[in-house]
Amino acid sequence: MKGKGFIPATLATLAILMGGVPTGVQAAGYAVFTQGASALGQGNAVTAHTDSPNTIFYNPALIHKLDGTQVELGTTVIFSSREFETELPGGSTSNQSTFFPSTFYATHKFNDNLSAGLGVFSPFGLGTKWNEDWEGRYLATRSKLTSFNINPVVSYRIIPSLAVAVGLDVILVDATLERQLPGFLFGTTSDVRQKFKGDGTGVGFNAALAYDLSEEISFGVSYRSEAKVDIKGDASTSLDVTPFDSKGKTSIRLPQQLTAGVS
């Protein structure tokens, strides 16, 4: 028996968990919006104004407002809880997980018009984990997606009231999936654990604009393009024999994002 027959099912699990199909999984449900403490404290309504280097994520056109060289480091604690209810006796279950998405931002102002910056943050992530005997164990017992976006940006002030920015998104993604398989497929009486672990890199771009309508009112708009990440990895089982181990691949489409605001 060859293990390759089980690989598409594992990748289909990744697709189901993230709301798509193996040839183009959509990751919108895994978006992380805790990209800066000061922005989070303002409900992320910071597209049109800034006082922090985390504007690299929210609107990099605004980095020209930051003097000198500035650096910001941060992390966020996310407590995730899940509950599954079923009418079957003893079938309901719940679980909790903790995640620590972290950020790094650095900006430098060369002159009144030209500024540059670098951001490293996790735009998509989180995951789920269930007991190995829960009702949906043949779909998934564990799923984890982590990503890091390395985002260099350049901002230029065209006129005193108008600035624009462009940047490159280099996105590193790591995915881990585990599920149980019925033992009879392998000639055993107990379930067999299958694990898929893979990684990939995608490339996109971002662009932004900031305009001061007056001394009191400003407008901002920020855009990040869609990025396709091809994930390749290995699938293995808990059996001591290796014929069931194989290679697997899928693709994830990180959705485009557009935000605008007035301050």
Calculate mean pLDDT across residues 222-245.
82
Percent share of the chain, pLDDT over 70: 70
| More confidently predicted of 235 and 127 | 235
Calculate mean pLDDT across residues 31-53.
64
Which residues are CB-contacts of 89 (< 8 A; sequence separation ≥ 6)? none
Q: Considering only CA atoms, which of 104, 88, 86, 93 is closest in space to residue 36?
A: 104
For residue 28, give the 3-state DSSP assignment.
helix
Please say if the pLDDT value at position 260 is more than 70: yes
The reported pLDDT for the residue numbered 258 is 92
d(Cα 159, Cα 68) in Å, to the nearest integer?
20
Q: How confident is the model at residue 38 (pLDDT cuts 50, 70, 90)?
A: low
b (16+ CB within 10 A) / e for 117-134: bbbbbbbbbbbbebeeeb
Helix (H) or strand (E) holding 239: none
**Using only C-alpha atoms, what is the Rg of the chain?**
22
Calculate mean pLDDT across residues 132-152.
83
Calculate mean pLDDT across residues 11-15.
46
The reported pLDDT for the residue numbered 141 is 81
C-alpha angle with apex 117: 111 to 106, nearest 5 degrees?
110
d(Cα 99, Cα 255) in Å, to the nearest integer?
22
Helix (H) or strand (E) holding 54: none
Q: How much is the mean pLDDT over the chain?
A: 78
Q: Considering only CA atoms, which of 38, 75, 76, 30 is closest in space to residue 54?
A: 38
Per-residue DSSP letters for 184-231?
GGGT-SS-EEEEEEEEEEEEEEEEEEEEESSSS-EEEEEEE--EEEEE
b (16+ CB within 10 A) / e for 67-88: eeebebebebeeeeeeeeeeee
Calculate mean pLDDT across residues 210-235.
91
> What would the pLDDT profile of 151-202 be if each residue is shown by its tens digit?
999 999 999 999 999 999 999 998 888 888 887 777 778 888 888 889 999 9
CB atoms within 10 A of CB 43: 8
The reported pLDDT for the residue numbered 6 is 42
> What would the pLDDT profile of 101-116 be if each residue is shown by its tens digit?
788 999 999 999 999 9
| More confidently predicted of 127 and 5 | 127
Q: Where are the domains of the chain?
A: 3-262
d(Cα 204, Cα 181) in Å, to the nearest integer?
37
Which architecture characterizes domain 3-262 according to CATH?
Beta Barrel (2.40)
Calculate mean pLDDT across residues 228-241.
82
Calculate mean pLDDT across residues 110-124.
93
Which residue is it, tokens 């984990």? 129
Checking DSSP bridges between strand 25-26 and strand 78-84, what pairing results, if any? Answer: unpaired
For residue 1, give the 3-state DSSP assignment.
coil
Q: How confident is the model at residue 248 (pLDDT cuts 50, 70, 90)?
A: confident
The reported pLDDT for the residue numbered 99 is 65
